[in-house]
Amino acid sequence: MIPNMWYAVLQSSEVPPGRAVAVERLAERLVCWRDAAGRVAVARDQCPHRGAALSPGRVCEGQLVCPFHGFRFDTAGACTLVPANGRSAPLPQGLRLASYPTWEGHGLIFLWWGQQPPEPATPPWFEDLTPDFSVATIRDPWRAHYSRAVENQLDAAHLPFVHHNTIGRGGKLVVDGPWVEWCDVNRLRMYVQNRVDDGPPARRPDEAPRPSSRFYIELILPNLWQNHLSPDFRLVVAFAPVNTQRTVLYLQSYQRFARAPGLRWLVNWSGMALNRYILHQDRAVVESQQPARSSLRGGELLIPADLPIIEYRRRRQELLGTAE
């Protein structure tokens, strides 16, 4: 995993008040809970006293209680009570959970993976997704490394084959471009035009101007993606890394063209059946890819249509250094 970055790791609804929730993310066993004010906390699922899992424990007044000996921990990871010592006894020095900085918004829980997070401690997001959009979300687990899942969403050439009966209908096999722009060091936009093979070969980015289309794909490293279908309709995916072999995709559909409450609900949730079907078309292929994790020099023979994937791999390798 790329260190020193914000990762979207869970839906907010997956951590209800009053419960400890066990998850695996970023190849770590984690426990999540909420304090009395509803703020989310994430820590390693291991008590520093005797190594027992904390997730089978309970949440009392917003603090996590170890099921083994009743030690209590606040959301900063500090131990606040050792029952066997008595309430008035001083607390042992250094008795802390390995906890992680968190941020919650946009229906997602973000975790800072690395050293001290930057100030202000706010993850990057798609700023044009304003509060007037309505949102529907689905959760989809994949048996694939998150880098493969990300790359699949930067791949324009697979559409007429993997999605021949859905979003790839029409036999548009030729990929003009793709045109890639880096909006900042960790934010990539790609523009592409797929067309029927009418004779001329695919045009490379330097052979034609970039399309002046409102349609584009945007990626924020390490694991956020947006399909900007129109000003009023978007798809967002958070690729939550579970471990080196598994990823959970959180797909959020944003729309603001249907505003009446009943119609808005119908549009949001009827579209999700198609979205899930399309995701599963992708999943069947991505889960078969080898090696499981992509890399800049992985031995694959890439083509011009793979330019966004090459750019992603290049930047990912820069951020990784020797960390992976």
Share of the chain above pLDDT 90, in %: 84
pLDDT for the residue numbered 322? 57
The pLDDT of residue 120 is above 80: no
pLDDT for the residue numbered 109? 98
pLDDT for the residue numbered 268? 78
The residue that leads in pLDDT, 18 or 119, is: 18
Q: Give 74-112 pLDDT, tens digit per residue.
A: 999 999 999 999 999 999 888 999 999 999 999 999 999
Q: Calculate mean pLDDT across residues 57-81.
A: 95
CB-based contact 21:15 (threshold 8 Å): yes
- Superfamily the domain 134-320 falls into: Naphthalene 1,2-dioxygenase Alpha Subunit; Chain A, domain 1 (3.90.380.10)
CB-based contact 26:130 (threshold 8 Å): no
The ranges assigned to domains in the chain are 5-113, 134-320
Domains 5-113 and 134-320 share a fold: no
Q: Calculate mean pLDDT across residues 16-40.
A: 97
Going by pLDDT thresholds of 50, 70 and 90, the confidence category of residue 260 is: confident
Going by pLDDT thresholds of 50, 70 and 90, the confidence category of residue 24 is: very high
Report whether the peptide linkage leading into residue 178 is cis, meaning its omega lies within 30 degrees of zero.
Answer: yes
CATH 2.102.10.10 fits 5-113, yes or no: yes
pLDDT for the residue numbered 258? 81
CB-based contact 111:87 (threshold 8 Å): no
Q: Give 202-252 pLDDT, tens digit per residue.
A: 999 999 899 888 899 999 999 999 999 999 999 999 999 999 999 999 999
Q: Is 247 exposed, middle or buried (0-12, 13-18, 19+ CB in 10 A)?
A: buried
Going by pLDDT thresholds of 50, 70 and 90, the confidence category of residue 297 is: confident
Q: Calculate mean pLDDT across residues 32-37.
A: 96
Going by pLDDT thresholds of 50, 70 and 90, the confidence category of residue 59 is: very high
pLDDT for the residue numbered 324? 52
Q: Give 122-159 pLDDT, tens digit per residue.
A: 999 999 999 999 999 999 999 999 999 999 999 999 99
Q: For residues 54 and 170, give the distance between their C-alpha atoms in angstroms, rounded to a whole number.
A: 53
CB-based contact 20:57 (threshold 8 Å): yes
The pLDDT of residue 119 is above 90: no
Bridge partners, residue 210, by sequence: none
